[in-house]
Structure 1
Amino acid sequence: MNKKAVIFDMDGVIIDSEPLWQQAQIESLAGVGVSITRQDCEQLTMGKRVDEITRIWCEMYALSISAKELENLILTKLCNRISSTGEAMTGVYDALSFFSQQGLKLALATSSNHVVIKAVFDRLQLWDKFSVICSAEDEEHGKPSPDVYLTAARMLKVDVSECLVIEDSFVGMTAAKGANMMTCIISPYCQQSKFSKADKCYVNLDCLLQSDLLQPGWTFR
């Protein structure tokens, strides 16, 4: 089985930002008199573009604030938190080094806006790690549409069959599988039935690096 590229999701794979996303949403909605929980965020907005997130909340609670105003609030709070407290997920730097040493092309394909990507890459010093950076902000449709993954493959100049995707959410897995790419889920909850369509599931990137998937017999070229 030959792969030429690894495409990483960002939130929850590269950086431990899902709690930061949730808190940014909770605080922003609290400011307009609406109370939501982390579970609400996980069930309704995890892995989605911020415009989809704000549309969901505005429609659900008939908010007086515009979706664009809510989006700006969430992104400002999120980027501030990333810049001050953001931390890399377990095994990120080892995984990036391993795949790079194997000669694979590395790309990012995220639902997050470019302003969030910048905050993450500045905080974690990642600008030299990826040859291609794709945001669903630039696509007509965000995840679970496969658009951002298809764009990444096109920019990498590889076929979708030559890509390995690393994701952490159901929405992201759906997007990657929709692009006909091999998909690994990296999540403490990877054994949940919702991830049954993933090709492989691991608790974290360290477990992926130690797995039989990357042992002799797996060919990178």
Structure 2
Amino acid sequence: MIEAVIFDMDGTLIDSEPMWQQAEKQVFTSLGVDVTDDLAANTASMTTIGAAKFWYQQSPWHGPSISQAADNVVSCVAELILQKGKALSGVHDALAYLSEKQIKIGLATNAPERLIPVVLNALNIAHYFSVCCSSEDELSGKPSPDVYLSAAARLSVAPEKCLAVEDSVTGLLAAKAANMRTLAVPSSAQFNCDQFAQADFKLASLTGLTSQHLIGA
């Protein structure tokens, strides 16, 4: 049986991608960068600092450092989450179900650590999570398995007894590299993407989480 379920955050617990897009456009446009939709699609799965480096390579600016610009994006996202952050379908039910089953619950995200309490408190789900890990504290973000391995270690559960819940291919690859079982919950736009076929399970939303997803290989 699965002993721990480790969730991604952005796009899995909260539909924050539009907020990240809005924040990036606002911050980098103010620095003179032409933030096109096509280019912005490249930063969706990057860490915040990775996205800032990407935009700097597209159009170097004068003034704030790359890290300062990244921090400004995070601050903007935090404000947007507080204004309009809502849990995705099934999140509350899934967490309550896992808690009742006494399954350990963790978080492994590419998002900066300071955004974790903002999201969990805005959605009123912080009390479910025993461990929260950010790729900000790792050598490499997803698709590296580092953040998932850290979460499993802190939960004192072997990776092969963990189920990772992800909405992105990048996160799915990270979880698989960590030797975890995987549950993909892609957005409707990406649901039929061939790369999600490598997940052990796939759901349209977390409302479909059942005991069958907690059975190990």
TM-score with structure 2 setting the length: 0.92
Match of 2:202 in 1: 201
Match of 1:4 in 2: 3
Q: What's the CA shift for 1:18?
A: 1.0
User: 1:162-195 CA deviation, whole Å, 9 max, x = no partner?
Assistant: 0000001111111111101111111222220132
Contact 1:46 1:171 in 2 (8 A): no
Match of 1:40 in 2: 39
Quick one: structure 1 residues 63 and 171, their matched pair in 2 at CA, closer, same or farther if it must change by over 3 Å?
A: farther
Q: Quote the Cα distance in structure 1 between the aligned partners of 2:184 and 2:92.
A: 17
Match of 1:61 in 2: 59
Flag structure 1 segments of 5+ consecutive residues without an equivalent: none
Residue aligned with 1:112, SS? coil
Residue aligned with 1:177, SS? helix
Q: Count how many residue pairs are aligned between Structure 1 and Structure 2.
A: 213
2:50 counterpart of 1:49: no
- Please list every run of at least 4 consecutive aligned residues from structure 1 whose deviation after the TM superposition is greater than 4 angstroms: none
Opposite residue 102 of structure 2, the aligned amino acid is G
2:24 counterpart of 1:25: yes
Opposite residue 206 of structure 2, the aligned amino acid is L
Q: Quote the Cα distance in structure 1 between the aligned partners of 2:87 and 2:141.
A: 24
Match of 1:86 in 2: 85
Match of 1:151 in 2: 150
What fraction of aligned residue pairs are identical, expressed as a percent? 37
Quick one: structure 1 residues 200 and 219, their matched pair in 2 at CA, closer, same or farther if it must change by over 3 Å?
A: closer
2:182 counterpart of 1:165: no
Quick one: structure 1 residues 197 and 60, their matched pair in 2 at CA, closer, same or farther if it must change by over 3 Å?
A: farther
Q: What's the CA shift for 1:201?
A: 1.6
Map 1:104-183 onto structure 2 (within 5 A).
104-183=103-182
User: 1:16-72 CA deviation, whole Å, 9 max, x = no partner?
Assistant: 111111111111111112232445333x12232111111111112233342112102
Residue aligned with 2:26, SS? helix
Contact 1:11 1:18 in 2 (8 A): yes
User: 1:142-168 CA deviation, whole Å, 9 max, x = no partner?
Assistant: 111100000011011111110000001
Contact 2:33 2:58 in 1 (8 A): no
User: 1:121-154 CA deviation, whole Å, 9 max, x = no partner?
Assistant: 2211222111111111111111111000000110
Contact 2:92 2:125 in 1 (8 A): no
User: 1:192-219 CA deviation, whole Å, 9 max, x = no partner?
Assistant: 013232222211111334xx834xxx54
TM-score with structure 1 setting the length: 0.90
Contact 1:48 1:171 in 2 (8 A): no
Contact 1:46 1:169 in 2 (8 A): no
- Bigger Cα displacement from structure 2, 33-42 vs 191-200: 33-42
